[in-house]
Amino acid sequence: MGHALVVKSLHLNIAGRAVLRGLSLVVPRGETHVLMGRNGSGKSSLLHMLVGQVPAASGTATLDGESLLELPPEIIARKGLFLAFQMPVALPGVTIPQLLRSALQTRQEKGKLFDHMQFHDDLETAMGLMGMDSSWATRHVNDGFSGGERKRCEMLQALMLRPKYVLLDEIDSGLDVDAMGVMVDAIRLLQQRGAGVLVVTHHSRWLEALNPDGVHLLADGIIHRSGGMELARAIEAEGFQAAQ
């Protein structure tokens, strides 16, 4: 498949334990998919492997036909894969605009001047979409942020960097009802821009508003079952074990 994030027969071992045992998954550009599974099933490990933080034992992972395996995280990021962390770290002394400007400048075409005015316009628009007032432009990245504020900051980065594919690791945790609506709107915007989105979550209720293209149940290191919202509802009603 050309324009897709494709994982085939992936095996992943961590600390001598088999975490993934032949997992296969496809997330096409312009679609939103959801990965669900009980704690310790390997969801976060898969995402960290895809961005080059954990080495795979075997199998393949490609981004628009290009292999991701054995590439360093910074190269994978430049190829267009973005991970919103489950527990984003604080960067005291680095403001949100400084982080975003630096990240965008690394992707700037050689010899092309960085458009600072466009950057500030885009940042103001993105902060508005995320329900952030102007004070956020002076805040240090995640420093003193609540859990929900950290998740907003992660999504702001995705909106500004415009990656081809976005991995969201429990982006719903720590969010109230209003903030969850803002997050759903942001995910829809990413999809409308043509990004492929993979959402990792334990909870299905907020997915009704998102209406994903696919829902996948991870258990025993493989995708046990795939479907649509009917699968997410079955997991909510019956639990992970029964839904397998």
- Contact yes or no for 35/216 (Cβ under 8 A): yes
Domains in the chain: ranges and CATH: 4-86+155-243 (3.40.50.300)
- Contact yes or no for 30/212 (Cβ under 8 A): no
**pLDDT tens readout for residues 70-126:** 899 999 999 999 999 988 999 999 999 999 999 999 888 887 889 999 999 999 999
Q: What residue has token string 């770290």?
A: 89
Q: Indicate the angle between helix axes 147-161 and 96-106, nearest 10 degrees.
A: 30
Which residues touch 61 (CB under 8 Å, ≥6 apart)?
5, 6, 7, 8, 10, 49, 50, 67, 68, 69
pLDDT for the residue 107: 84
Choose among 79, 54, 53: nearest CA to 67.
79
**pLDDT tens readout for residues 206-233:** 999 999 999 999 999 999 999 999 999 9
